Amino acid sequence: MVANLKPPVLPTRADFHAAISSRADRWFAACLKITRSPELAEDAVQDALLSAWDKRAQFQGGARLDTWIHRIAVNSALQLLRKHKPARFDSLDFDITDEQESPEQDRYTDELDASLGDALTRLSDIERVCFVLKHIEQWRLAEIAAELGSSTGTIKQALFRAVRKLRVCMPDLLKVES
């Protein structure tokens, strides 16, 4: 039996422009949550786009182009974070919103983002990065461990500590979930 495999089609410039116009704000938001610096987040997205364009021949088409670039952007943010190792993180001065939300959802999301942003500053670097990758970016524990060069047990401990600290910092959220 011979499989009829078509070679993957290289993403075009138009494909990249479409992905950028529809998803750049989400890539930036993800990188901002990891780096806690608008400048580093911008650099991470820019590095990701350059890397994705240079390596577009490696795009297999198993995922959407914007998802592939998102993953590259998160990895770029992690690399920049390792390079810069900031001593402390500044709070976010702005919010990124999704145009599809209702005003009530938008207000709740803004409040939650502000509260989470403040609470994330109280976590150690490893706790914050693990929390963002696991609970916001939806990475698997093994993926986080591999990316950070750590064991799954260490990642679990960091996540446990992060969640415990966030529960203390964000008690109102527990009331909403109940």
168 φ, ψ (degrees, to nearest 5): -75, -40
Q: Is 178's pLDDT higher than 90?
A: no
The gap from C-alpha 17 to its chain's centroid, in whole angstroms, comes to 20
Q: Which domains does the chain have, with CATH numbers?
A: 12-90 (1.10.1740.10), 97-178 (1.10.10.10)
Q: Is 86's pLDDT higher than 50?
A: no
The predicted structure's pLDDT at residue 8: 62
For 53-75, write each residue's pLDDT tens digit.
Answer: 999 888 887 778 888 898 899 88
Provide the terminal-to-terminal Cα distance of the chain, rounded to the nearest Å: 56
Tell me the C-alpha distance between 170 and 111, whole Å: 11
In which element (H, E) is residue 151 found?
Answer: none
The gap from C-alpha 21 to its chain's centroid, in whole angstroms, comes to 18
The predicted structure's pLDDT at residue 101: 60
Tokens of 175: 């009331």
Tell me the C-alpha distance between 15 and 35, whole Å: 27
pTM of the model: 0.58
For 30-39, write each residue's pLDDT tens digit.
Answer: 898 888 889 9
